[in-house]
């Protein structure tokens, strides 16, 4: 779907160079891909380059295996939902979507029909005739999603689609994204800060940090390689425990409710014998030890740490 090779982007502001993307080479396959990274990691810049909104400083990329990337060759096949609620104020949802449909090459009549179809799909029903200014954040996000679907694209890029939504709104947006990908075969790349969203709907991950590619691959692969979070229960606790672990470069965190329950953060692969060795010749007794099932947040932070 998308391939980039040593893609770099440098912005110059007041004679100061800001590296937004630093030699990023990646491949986005069909299906749903999450684009992750902290603020300023280069996610939006990558999206803008792919959409042809800003040219890369160096490197190349190809969409749909077409290295020419001419505007007309990609606009028909790509849908874009921007991060901010970018809607034309003073018009209603139908007019807005129809306008975008006509700019996508639909006739006036077909664009009107299409506007109703996609608004039905995203669940904007009778409210579609109200002016956009009166919509809630959730409705604005759904209208933007409808706008991204108006030209029936093969590849949809969503920039922070669930930001600012209520739990129900988020759930409904994730349902739509998952459905459009799984049931209707659209490829989706979406950037987000909300990690549980990724867990719910994405198979592939791309993680950027400081403009560099940190990780690219399957979610399951990332989880398999995860090392480092363990739970330990001792018979009692004092400062000596902290010292024993820090001698082995293991960071500990005490449970708030159970004072003798500890969480170990480490990049080492620990086994039961490693832990028992630590407490040999001390008065501490190991009551329980288990490796924690990592959640997505753990994996994400772990990958960022590894790369740093």
Partner 1 sequence: MVQDDNLDVENPVITKGKKEGKTSSFVEKIEDEESIIFDNRYRPLKPEDKSKDSTQQDLKTITRFEISKGFSGRWAKVPLILAGFFLFISITALTALLILPESSYLNNLEYFSAFFLTPTAGPGSLISIQVAVVCSGLIASDLKDKTLPIYMTKVNMKDYFISKFSASLVLSYIGLPFFSLVYFVIVIYKRGFPNIFVDIPTWIYDWFMGVLGLQTYRAIPYGVLLLGDYLLILSKIIAFSILLILVYSSIILFLSSSTERAINAGVLFIVFIIASNIIFEEILYETTNIEFFQYFSPVTSLRNVYRKIFVVNLATGTSFGGFGAPSSTVSKPSNSVYLSSLLALILMIIGSLYGTYWNLKRYARRGFT
What are the residues binding partner 1 (CB under 8 A)?
A: 11, 13, 20, 44-45, 48, 51-54, 71-72, 75-76, 78, 80, 82, 84-91, 99-100, 102-107, 110, 114, 117, 120-123, 125-126, 131, 147, 149, 151-152, 171, 174-175, 178-180, 182-184, 199-203, 219-220, 223, 296
Minimal distance, residue 307 CB to partner 1, in Å: 21
Q: How many CB atoms within 10 Å of residue 155?
A: 20
Specify whether the backbone of 255 is left (phi greater than 0), alpha (psi in -120 to 50) or beta.
Answer: beta
Residue 199 CB, shortest distance to partner 1, in Å, is 5
What minimum distance in Å lies between the beta carbon of 219 and partner 1? 5
Phi, psi of 149 (to 5 degrees): -95, -10
Find the shortest distance in angstroms from Cβ 280 to partner 1. Answer: 38
Distances (CA, A) of 264 to 94, 183, 304, 307: 54, 41, 18, 20
Rounded Cα–Cα distance for residues 122 and 176 (Å): 7
Report how far residue 98's alpha carbon sits from residue 77's, in angstroms, rounded to the nearest whole number: 18
Which CB atom, from 147 or from 209, has the smaller least distance to partner 1? 147
Q: Is 255 helix (H, G, I), strand (E, B) or coil?
A: coil
Q: Report in angstroms how near the CB of residue 200 gets to partner 1 at its nearest.
A: 4
CA atoms within 13 A on the CB side of 297: 5
Pick between residue 69 and residue 266 the one whose CB is nearest to partner 1.
69
Q: How far is the CB of 17 from partner 1 (least distance, A)?
A: 14
Mutual angle of helices 108-122 and 137-149, in 10-degree steps: 130
Beta carbon of residue 104, minimum distance to partner 1 (angstroms, whole number): 6
Give 103 or 288: the residue with its C-beta nearer to partner 1. Answer: 103
Between 54 and 266, CB nearer to partner 1: 54
In the complex with partner 1, which residue's Cβ is closer, 180 or 214?
180
**In the 8-state DSSP scheme, what is residue 66?**
B
Q: Write the DSSP string, 219-251.
A: HHHHHHT---EEEEEES---HHHHHHHHHTT-E
Question: Which residue lies nearer to partner 1 by CB, 177 or 232?
Answer: 177
Closest separation in Å from C-beta 285 to partner 1:
35
Q: How many residues does the chain have?
A: 308
Rounded to an integer, what distance in angstroms lies between the CA atom of residue 136 and that of residue 84? 13
**Beta carbons of 212 and 26 less than 8 angstroms apart:** no
The DSSP letter of residue 60 is: E
Nearer to partner 1, 11 or 240 (CB): 11
- For residues 65 and 183, which CB has a smaller minimum distance to partner 1 in the complex? 183
CA nearest to 208, candidates 33, 15, 12: 33
């Amino acid at each position: 779907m998308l391939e980039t090779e040593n893609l770099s982007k440098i912005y110059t502001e007041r004679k100061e160079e800001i590296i937004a993307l630093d030699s990023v080479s990646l491949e986005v396959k069909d299906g749903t891909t999450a684009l992750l990274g902290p603020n300023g990691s280069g996610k939006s810049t990558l999206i803008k380059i792919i959409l042809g909104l800003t040219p890369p400083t160096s490197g190349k990329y190809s969409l749909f295996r077409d290295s020419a990337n001419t505007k007309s060759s990609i606009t028909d096949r790509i849908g874009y939902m921007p991060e901010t609620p970018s809607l034309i104020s003073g018009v209603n949802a139908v007019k807005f979507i129809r306008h975008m449909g006509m700019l996508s090459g639909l006739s006036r009549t077909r664009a009107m029909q299409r506007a109703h179809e996609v608004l039905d799909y995203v669940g904007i029903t009778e409210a579609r005739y109200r002016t956009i200014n009166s919509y809630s954040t959730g409705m604005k996000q759904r209208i933007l999603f409808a706008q991204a679907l108006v030209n029936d694209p093969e590849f949809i890029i969503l920039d922070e689609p669930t930001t600012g939504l209520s739990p129900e709104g988020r759930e409904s947006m994730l349902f739509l994204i998952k459905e459009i990908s799984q049931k209707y075969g659209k490829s989706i790349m979406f950037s987000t800060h909300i990690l549980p969203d990724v867990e719910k709907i994405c198979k592939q991950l791309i993680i950027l940090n400081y403009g560099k590619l940190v990780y690219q691959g399957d979610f399951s692969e990332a989880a398999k390689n995860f090392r480092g979070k363990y739970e330990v229960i001792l018979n009692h606790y004092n400062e000596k425990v902290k010292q024993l672990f820090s001698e082995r470069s293991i960071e500990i965190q005490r449970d708030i409710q159970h004072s003798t329950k500890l969480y170990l953060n480490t990049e080492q692969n620990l086994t039961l014998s490693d832990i028992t060795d630590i407490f040999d010749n001390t008065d501490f007794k190991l009551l329980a030890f288990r490796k924690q099932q990592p959640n997505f947040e753990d994996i994400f932070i772990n990958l960022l740490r590894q790369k740093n």
